[in-house]
Chain A
């Protein structure tokens, strides 16, 4: 064996050992939001993961920022103290599992689960296996809370949602259009066929619309990498649609609005919560979004005290108006605090006891937040709150009946 081989094998061994060293000491994480002046009660460890780098970073950052604001407020009240650890998962299933394990190394006791649905469905079995309570602010897919996604049965039981599930949004949208025939009766749909969120809403919208006898004149699809929507818009216009349902996120929706304007096609547009954020999109002429309807649980211009306070703090700290993801995260923290206070949960309890108590509280309590009032949760983890419809008028959301 010559020196070169020795060197190579040595390097390999060193690598393995250093990996090992990393492994036993690498369970650090920042403790942002922990409070130091907080009486004698130890802080409960609240974890969360979401994308703060990569394409979906805007959602993860919104949740992280809003949760930090809420936790600061909760800790300042005295009483229940929370320690927050937010891990980056890049909205990727593999990274989400790694982020979950990093949180477990840190000693997570209660969780905000994940920001995105894809990550949520990847770690849901881990939450169930380790028996950790989680409430996701924005993981809206049914796969986040149900094992059986065909019939939406067999829930994990420890995972709850603050947002509507995708199917609920589809059904609610169809119901809304059915009772508001003045918006339009010939429905055109454009949705993204390679996106979980979009197809989830489309499928239940279609099912409900068929049941109600709504007239869908044309359905068009696009995929992630598409940048030109002229064909879809042209076909919808040719089919004579007077209302276009867009169960998609705001970036492609903005391009569809631009294309419709270009073609002189002027129906009513109707979107879901993914449309939230269209007014803050850079380089987008917001006048095109005038008259856009959407179902969203949160509007930043609401005048109740809680919303005003939250929007003010968020805008001061991060220089932008909070979106619905942020609002959901803010509500999650307060719902968790309400449950902790009512059940008398302390940091020295075992996670099994904490989870059992949290699940019991969530399935029995009523919560008033900024994304809805009198919210309740079913045993499978779905939230029940009234969807609000808003329309964009003069560049701001205005609530409509």
Chain B
């Protein structure tokens, strides 16, 4: 009983709830899929949902928790995705397949994204103001353009790279891993729902451990009052960089999971629109609210697919639903009503306890 009380103590409540949501949803979906009560359409959406949730949790750390606007999270997904395509290609050529490839790819994808995230954040986060938004916006575009012109081939002699024009000749048995605007082709898919759920749980644990740590308190302090935080010796740029790099690495891990779920995808998939979409998931779920992010991401990825029966009106209805959710979740009257309802419940509960 004490353990449960501890899990739901004010400090750990939101962590426990987020994890519970993931575990319960996973259990239900697992039961459904083992009893074949799930459509192929929904089944095929589960891994991308997990990938988007992981990227959104990362973005929420950066936008919600550290208070810096990031418009390039899809760029980090892209880095993770294409890194893992190359690594998976090398592994497959050496006869290694399956889950180990996925694990190595996710780790390498997140390290690569973290490294590049660190590189771009070091100069930017020394500045005050919305410079990070501008730089990440440009970063997303640059990554997309670079990968759109990148050719990577693999044969017995190793990796071959070409830029803009594909002038490589591969030895017998060689194959293209990334072919410029054609994107990654012939990826062997290994991502599963279980792997996705595990990744989301790990992402949540990383996020909450960071939030509850000494560094996490420093990040909050730097967000809420820069001057006060500096006056007690917190290095603003260091704490903000920490949040940004963790966010980028989660984006990279999400990209790796995403990449190994599709046999082919293009760099243009991770464009400015995708970054904005991730931002929408975070804002709709609530800044700094991980459970909200999970629910809103799952809902917004699945919703347009579930509206397929509407045919031509699909995207119209989707837009209306989106606007309605935004309005309702921000409605002051409803908020007050909900608050009153909650207070009433709290009062009756207290009465019951007496």
Binding site for B on A (CB under 8 A): 1-5, 8-9, 11-13, 15-17, 19-20, 22-24, 26-30, 32, 52-53, 87-88, 92-94, 97-99, 101-102, 104-105, 118, 121-122, 124-126, 141, 143, 147-150, 193-196, 198-200, 203, 221, 223-224
Q: Which residues of B contact A198 (CB under 8 A)?
A: 181
Q: Are A97 and B262 in contact (CB under 8 A)?
A: yes
Q: Are B40 and A101 in contact (CB under 8 A)?
A: yes
Contact partner of B308 (CB less than 8 A), chosen from A8, A23, A29, is A29
Q: Are A101 and B28 in contact (CB under 8 A)?
A: no
Complex Cα gap A22–B312 (Å): 19
Q: Are A150 and B291 in contact (CB under 8 A)?
A: no
Instruction: Quote the shortest CB–CB distance from B197 to chain A (angstroms).
Output: 12
Q: Are B265 and A143 in contact (CB under 8 A)?
A: no
Residue among A4, A11, A97, A99 with most chain B CB within 10 A: A97
Residue among B25, B39, B302, B312 with most chain A CB within 10 A: B39
Q: Are A28 and B302 in contact (CB under 8 A)?
A: no
Residue among B37, B265, B342, B346 with most chain A CB within 10 A: B265
How many B residues have CB within 8 A of the partner chain?
63
Complex Cα gap A348–B182 (Å): 38
Tell me whether B266 is interfacial, beta carbon within 8 Å: yes
Q: Are B264 and A8 in contact (CB under 8 A)?
A: no
10 pairs of residues in contact across A and B, judged by CB atoms under 8 Å: A19-B298, A28-B309, A29-B308, A30-B309, A124-B264, A149-B176, A150-B174, A150-B176, A193-B180, A196-B266
Contact partner of B38 (CB less than 8 A), chosen from A11, A23, A203, is A23
Q: Which residues of B contact A88 (CB under 8 A)?
A: 308, 311, 314-315
Q: A16-B24, A203-B166 are in contact. Are A122 and B262 (CB under 8 A)?
A: yes
Tell me whether B48 is interfacial, beta carbon within 8 Å: yes
Q: Which of B145-153, B207-215, B222-230 contacts A (4 or more CB under 8 A)?
A: B145-153
Contact partner of B149 (CB less than 8 A), chosen from A99, A101, A193, is A193
Q: Which residue from chain A places its CB closest to the CB of B258 in the assembled complex?
A: A94
Q: Are A194 and B180 in contact (CB under 8 A)?
A: yes
Complex Cα gap A196–B264 (Å): 13
Complex Cα gap A255–B208 (Å): 52
Complex Cα gap A86–B345 (Å): 50
Q: Are A122 and B263 in contact (CB under 8 A)?
A: yes
Q: Are A5 and B312 in contact (CB under 8 A)?
A: no
Instruction: Quote the shortest CB–CB distance from B189 to chain A (angstroms).
Output: 8
B19-50 at interface with A (beta carbon < 8 Å): 20-21, 24-25, 28-29, 32, 37-45, 48
Contact partner of A52 (CB less than 8 A), chosen from B13, B32, B165, B312, is B312
Q: A20-B38, A22-B42, A52-B312 are in contact. Are A143 and B264 (CB under 8 A)?
A: yes
Tell me whether B17 is interfacial, beta carbon within 8 Å: yes
Q: Which residues of B contact A124 (CB under 8 A)?
A: 263-264
Contact partner of B264 (CB less than 8 A), chosen from A15, A121, A194, is A121
Contact partner of A101 (CB less than 8 A), chosen from B43, B186, B269, is B43
Complex Cα gap A245–B138 (Å): 32
B 142-172 binary contact with A (CB < 8 Å = 1; else 0): 0001001100010000000000111000100
Q: Are A15 and B39 in contact (CB under 8 A)?
A: no
Q: Are B148 and A194 in contact (CB under 8 A)?
A: yes
- A-B pairs with lowest CB-CB distance, top 3: A23-B42, A28-B309, A194-B148
Tell me whether B179 is interfacial, beta carbon within 8 Å: yes
Q: A121-B182, A122-B262 are in contact. Are A97 and B44 (CB under 8 A)?
A: yes
Q: Which residues of B contact A196 (CB under 8 A)?
A: 180-182, 266
Contact partner of A149 (CB less than 8 A), chosen from B25, B179, B262, is B179
Complex Cα gap A196–B302 (Å): 29
B246-294 at interface with A (beta carbon < 8 Å): 262-266, 268-269, 291
Contact partner of A102 (CB less than 8 A), chosen from B8, B175, B266, B305, is B305
Contact partner of A22 (CB less than 8 A), chosen from B13, B24, B306, is B306
Interface of A is mostly: helix
Tell me whether B295 is interfacial, beta carbon within 8 Å: yes
Contact partner of B265 (CB less than 8 A), chosen from A28, A30, A93, A126, is A93
Q: A94-B48, A102-B305 are in contact. Are A23 and B262 (CB under 8 A)?
A: no
Tell me whether B183 is interfacial, beta carbon within 8 Å: yes
Tell me whether B11 is interfacial, beta carbon within 8 Å: no
Q: Which residues of A contact B312 (CB under 8 A)?
A: 52
Q: Are A92 and B182 in contact (CB under 8 A)?
A: no
Complex Cα gap A28–B305 (Å): 11
Q: Are B182 and A143 in contact (CB under 8 A)?
A: yes
Tell me whether B220 is interfacial, beta carbon within 8 Å: no
Q: Which residue from chain A places its CB closest to the CB of B172 in the assembled complex?
A: A151
Q: Which residues of A contact B265 (CB under 8 A)?
A: 93-94, 122
Q: Which residues of B contact A22 (CB under 8 A)?
A: 42, 302, 306
Q: Which residues of B contact A27 (CB under 8 A)?
A: 39, 41
Q: Are B295 and A12 in contact (CB under 8 A)?
A: yes
Complex Cα gap A186–B186 (Å): 39
Contact partner of B39 (CB less than 8 A), chosen from A26, A121, A143, is A26
Q: Which residues of A contact B21 (CB under 8 A)?
A: 9, 12
Q: Are B145 and A223 in contact (CB under 8 A)?
A: yes
Tell me whether B119 is interfacial, beta carbon within 8 Å: no
Q: A3-B349, A19-B302, A26-B309 are in contact. Are A98 and B41 (CB under 8 A)?
A: yes
Q: Which residues of B contact A143 (CB under 8 A)?
A: 182, 185, 264
Q: Are B40 and A13 in contact (CB under 8 A)?
A: no
Complex Cα gap A27–B308 (Å): 9
Contact partner of B42 (CB less than 8 A), chosen from A26, A53, A104, A148, is A26
Residue among B42, B181, B263, B266 with most chain A CB within 10 A: B181
B309-347 at interface with A (beta carbon < 8 Å): 309, 311-312, 314-315, 342, 345-346
Q: A12-B24, A122-B264 are in contact. Are A5 and B302 (CB under 8 A)?
A: no
Q: Which residues of B contact A5 (CB under 8 A)?
A: 8, 13, 17
Q: A8-B291, A9-B20, A150-B176 are in contact. Are A194 and B186 (CB under 8 A)?
A: no
Complex Cα gap A221–B165 (Å): 11
Q: Which residues of B contact A13 (CB under 8 A)?
A: 24, 28
Q: Which residues of A contact B17 (CB under 8 A)?
A: 5, 8-9, 12
Instruction: Quote the shortest CB–CB distance from A144 to chain B (angstroms).
Output: 10
